[in-house]
Amino acid sequence: MTEPSLTGRSVLVVENEYLIAVALQLALEERGATVVGPAPSVESALNLIDDHPELDAAILDINLDGTTAFPVADRLCEKRCRLVFMTGYDAVAIPARFQSHTRLEKPVDAAAVAGLIATEIAS
């Protein structure tokens, strides 16, 4: 069975840890995605969302140097953008309004995350 592609899809990466952000970017690009970001802060993520209204999906680290990414998630939900939380936090730390979104526990395999995004977009 052929794995789904991300060709022609835009994926926002919101992650403040450089090595994780780069690994995600490379894995997504290997599947054909156009990566928006990585954004290391809420402010930069919100600016990228405004500049790229065509986003298909987003990967969000919840803790961005002590600030939560929930305002970013709210904006993405308004745009009906698929999102995946990537965090070290337990599920109880995620507000109820986001419970239906996928939560991946760090550490993560960047290729597996890219595959998950591709599968979710394809469905």
- Domain limits of the chain? 10-122
pLDDT at residue 122, rounded to an integer: 83
Span 30-44, pLDDT tens digits: 999 999 999 999 999
* Fold for the domain defined by 10-122: Rossmann fold (3.40.50)
Beta bridge partners of 12: 36, 58
DSSP 8-state symbol, 56 = -
Is the sign of the CA dihedral 36, 115, 122, 106 positive or negative? negative
Average the pLDDT over each of 7-21, 60-74, 82-96 and give the range with the smallest value: 82-96
SS3 (DSSP) at 87: strand
Helices (DSSP H) in the chain: which residue ranges? 18-30, 42-51, 70-78, 110-122
pLDDT > 60? residue 1? no
pTM of the full structure: 0.94
